[in-house]
Amino acid sequence: MKIQYCHNYKQMSHLAADSIVSDLKLRSKQLICAATGNSPIGIYTRLEEFYQDHPDYFIDLSIIKLDEWGGLKNNDVNSCETYIRNKILQPLHISDNRYISFNGEDLMVKKECERIQKEIDTRGPIDICILGLGKNGHIGLNEPEEFITPGCHIAQLSQTSQQHEMTNNMVNKPIYGYTLGVRDILLSKKIILLITGPAKEEIIKQFLTKKITSHLPVSFLWLHSNVECYIDSESL
């Protein structure tokens, strides 16, 4: 794992975005798994800036959504769907045929997971997976548990995830969500892990011990041969 300590959030975002663009320069046909939340916003802003000068870098780019809150309508302002469309698809002109997305309002939850898994198996593997680090060590909505679910699945949300900043304005907070599994993430050719935000000092310390446990899902990234971990030093 390549760990890069950054002076601040802006430097972290720029370095991570530059890494993505370097890959796109070499091969524009990429499948990128996009996380939501505050951690990757700076990356997506930086990619939009690159698009203005080099739209050809993004002409064959496809996006897969990492996770989604369960029970939300797709057009809900708090949904991951709205976030992805506003911050990635529209700015980078990604058409719907180049986008793979959980439908959070689909009540056939098992079939929805099976559909996304089939999409990954057919169109994957993921080239670049962008991840943030949750306050309890989760990646996507893979929560600390006694065991890890490998593929796309429904996750029962921990109390920490139910208090995520994206849920602050929700009237009815979700108790479950859709997520790619740890296996799907580890099969990615490259993983970009962003560590930023308050109240994560203890989780960061646990992660850096390199001890792998299902109670700290992010620790499984130590098994991957190509992880770029960017740490915002202001979060330490």
Question: Which residue do the tokens 């943030």 mark?
Answer: 132
- For 158, which DSSP code? P
d(CA 150, CA 209) in angstroms, rounded, equals 23
Q: How far is CA 159 from CA 122, 151, 156, in A?
A: 34, 23, 10
| CATH code of the domain in which 135 resides | 3.40.50.1360
Look up residue 3 and give its amino acid: I
With 0-12 CB in 10 A as exposed, 13-18 as middle and 19+ as buried, what is 201? exposed
- The total of structural domains in the chain comes to 1
What are the DSSP E strand ranges found in the chain?
2-6, 31-34, 62-65, 67-69, 99-100, 128-132, 153-156, 176-179, 190-195, 227-232
- pLDDT single digits (tens) 66-80: 999 998 888 999 999
Domain that holds residue 18: 2-235
d(CA 165, CA 123) in angstroms, rounded, equals 31
d(CA 79, CA 27) in angstroms, rounded, equals 31
Inter-axis angle of helices 9-26 and 41-53, to 10 degrees? 50
Taking the whole predicted model, whether its pTM rises above 0.85 is answered as yes
Residues identified as active-site: 67, 136, 138, 143
Could you give the 3-state DSSP secondary structure of residue 136?
coil
Neighbours of 161 (CB within 10 A): 24
Structure tokens at 202: 């203890």
Structure tokens at 180: 């790619």
Q: What is the dihedral of CA 121, 43, 218, 26, to 10 degrees?
A: 50
User: Strand pairing partners for 68?
Assistant: 178
Query: pLDDT in tens for each of the 236 residues of the chain?
Result: 999 999 999 999 999 999 999 999 999 999 999 999 999 999 999 999 999 999 999 999 999 999 999 988 889 999 999 999 999 999 999 999 999 999 877 667 889 999 999 999 999 999 999 999 999 999 999 999 999 999 999 999 888 887 777 766 777 778 899 999 999 999 999 999 999 998 899 999 999 999 999 999 999 999 999 999 999 999 87
Could you give the 3-state DSSP secondary structure of residue 179?
strand
